[in-house]
Amino acid sequence: MTLVFMIFLGLHVLHSVVSNWAGNDPARLTHERPNPFMLLSQAPMFVIACTLAYQSGIFSRELLSPVYFGLGTVAGLLIFCISVMVIHLSVLAAIEMFTHGWQLVRFTLDCPAVLSRFITVAFAEELIYRGVAQPILIAWTGSVWVGILLLAVLFSVVHHHFFRNSWRVSSEFLAFSIAVGWLYWVTGSLLFVMVIHGVRDIAIAYLEFEEKMEELGDWEAAADAIDASYRPVKGLRPAGGAA
């Protein structure tokens, strides 16, 4: 089953790389016209990942740990602030983002579509990549760091923005992938890295919200506009489009 899972993962990665390299960005696909190959590769891969995760004991009470949830929330915000500092080369930008912590919470509560989407994405991606694929690669390569680095590269290249962004932004995303892989290896907590991942994605959506706020000048109108853009009926973004 492990080999079958890795074959599906390899096909998914290969298809993502070829599509992005050719300019056929999966994120351009609409909800009404899903990519058949993506569905055929991702669905069984997720099912097998769940089975392997259950067999390895990943699905335990730890997934409901308030301690790891709290630590993941704080760590996710700190890591995102560091990312902002690296990308914008500004300590002030990072500090400003950190001080928006409570506004980020309010934004999350006001945008249920954003919250539900990124909880789902964070759980699925962290389960597949960190929870299942990373231990397999570490076992196959015989090296913790080689396995983490290889998995980080695979995780990065399936995201369309990795090929579209500047070298600094893409390098930051690769570094984020490595950091999350290392944190999972250290803690063994899927919940911890899942929350970190989710906080990052929600924080990115919050930056979109801030731009919309400047445009509309109203919190509720801006929140409604961003939330609507993440609803399944309008503008569904397929896996690989979020960080």
Token look-up 């990052």 returns 200
Q: Are 132 and 53 in contact (CB under 8 A)?
A: yes
Both tokens of 144, joined, read 């913790």
Predicted confidence (pLDDT) per residue in 74-129, tens digit: 999 999 999 999 998 889 989 988 888 889 999 999 999 999 999 999 999 999 99
In angstroms, the Cα distances linking 16 to 66, 122, 150 are: 35, 18, 16
The amino acid sitting at 65 is S
**Which letter does DSSP use for residue 217 in this model?**
-
Q: Which residues contact 207 (CB under 8 A, 6 or more apart)?
A: none
Terminal C-alpha separation, the chain: 28
Predicted confidence (pLDDT) per residue in 150-171, tens digit: 999 999 999 988 988 899 999 9
Both tokens of 1, joined, read 């089953």
Angle of CA points 156, 141, 187, to nearest 5°: 65
Predicted confidence (pLDDT) per residue in 162-215, tens digit: 988 899 999 999 999 999 999 999 999 999 999 999 999 999 999 999 999 999
**Which letter does DSSP use for residue 25 in this model?**
-
C-alpha 3/C-alpha 172 separation (Å) is: 31
C-alpha 212/C-alpha 218 separation (Å) is: 9
Both tokens of 129, joined, read 């990549």
Q: Are 164 and 19 in contact (CB under 8 A)?
A: no
Both tokens of 223, joined, read 């929140």
pTM of the entire predicted model: 0.89
